[in-house]
């Protein structure tokens, strides 16, 4: 297997909880920095199958800004924020399956207050941000290892396919910018946060 490039990451998260009657809201501002260095990290695993992973958060609003320019690259109102991790070994089938799964998750409340509605049912939007750190391995030592994350060229292709698959389903999609430092702001409504993957395609 071709060696993977070393990944570096800086993350800073601030959480506050506004006092809104009848609602529990979490506001988070998260900064990610992705750096690609020399091929100093060698993978010792032979991965024959991937497991694409998504962290899905139900939001009342979310946006992505590039800190160095102040440009807002993606912004949504009511809907979901998807942090998407692509693993070495993932393919087109993973991207298509996961997009369909995410679009149909029944995580929005109906008139009875039960989670029975999907993203399209509530005319919601999706903000999709690439997030290789979902494959951070913290089992040994204090520094996460990212050898299971896909190479940038593969990750970008499958990330773009995931976005395209959501749009084909009729979802309005905004995005971050691949391989750039980003400031991600969101209001998590509920809060509702789910981890979804393609470990078992079903």
Residue 1 belongs to a domain = no
In the chain, % helix, strand, coil (3-state, to 5) comes to: 15, 45, 40
Strand 53-66 with 79-85, pairing? antiparallel
29, 41, 73, 133: the catalytic one is: 133
Residue 25 belongs to a domain = yes
For the chain, the straight-line distance linking the first and the last C-alpha, in angstroms and rounded, comes to 28
Whole-angstrom distance, CA of residue 132 vs CA of residue 150 = 8
Residue 202 belongs to a domain = no
Picking from 33, 115, 34, 32, the residue whose alpha carbon sits closest to that of residue 80 is 115
What is the enclosing helix (H) or strand (E) of 152?
helix 152-168
Question: Based on the structure, what is the number of domains in the chain?
Answer: 1
51, 65, 96, 132: the catalytic one is: 132
Whole-angstrom distance, CA of residue 60 vs CA of residue 124 = 10
Residue 122 belongs to a domain = yes
Q: What is the mean pLDDT of each run of 10 residues along the chain (202 residues)?
A: 34 38 42 35 42 96 95 97 94 95 96 95 97 89 88 95 98 93 95 91 58
pLDDT of residue 147: 86
154: Cβ–Cβ under 8 A, 6 or more apart, which residues?
Answer: 86, 88, 90
pLDDT of residue 23: 43
51, 96, 131, 198: the catalytic one is: 131
Residue 2 belongs to a domain = no
Tell me the angle at which helices 92-104 and 152-168 cross, rounded to the nearest 10 degrees.
40
Torsion of CA 181, 157, 84, 132, to 10 degrees: -60
Whole-angstrom distance, CA of residue 26 vs CA of residue 21 = 14
Picking from 124, 66, 106, the residue whose alpha carbon sits closest to that of residue 194 is 106
pLDDT of residue 201: 65
CATH number at residue 35: 3.50.80.10
Whole-angstrom distance, CA of residue 61 vs CA of residue 185 = 8
Task: Check if 132 is active-site.
Answer: yes
Residue 130 belongs to a domain = yes
pLDDT of residue 179: 84
Residue 72 belongs to a domain = yes
Which residues, listed in sequence order, are joined to residue 26 by a DSSP beta bridge? 188
Task: Check if 131 is active-site.
Answer: yes
Domain that includes residue 174, residue range? 7-40+49-197
> Within its chain, how far is the Cα of 19 from the centroid?
27
């Amino acid at each position: 297997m071709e060696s993977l490039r070393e990944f570096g990451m800086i993350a800073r998260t601030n959480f506050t909880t506004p006092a809104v009657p009848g609602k529990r809201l979490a506001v988070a501002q998260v900064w990610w920095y992705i750096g690609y260095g020399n091929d100093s990290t060698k993978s010792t695993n032979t991965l024959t199958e991937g497991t694409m992973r998504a962290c899905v958060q139900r939001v009342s609003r979310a946006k992505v800004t590039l800190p160095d320019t102040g440009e807002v690259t993606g912004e949504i109102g009511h809907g979901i924020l998807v942090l998407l991790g692509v693993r070495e070994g993932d393919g087109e089938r993973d991207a298509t399956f996961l997009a369909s799964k995410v679009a149909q998750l029944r995580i929005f409340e109906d008139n009875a207050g039960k989670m029975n509605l999907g993203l399209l049912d509530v005319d919601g939007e999706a903000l999709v941000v690439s997030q290789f750190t979902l494959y951070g391995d913290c089992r040994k030592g204090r520094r996460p290892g990212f050898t299971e994350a896909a190479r940038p060229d593969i990750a970008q292709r499958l990330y773009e396919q995931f976005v395209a698959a959501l749009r084909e389903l009729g979802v309005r999609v905004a995005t971050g910018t691949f391989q750039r430092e980003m400031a991600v702001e969101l209001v998590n409504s509920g809060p509702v946060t789910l981890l979804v993957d393609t470990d078992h395609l079903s």
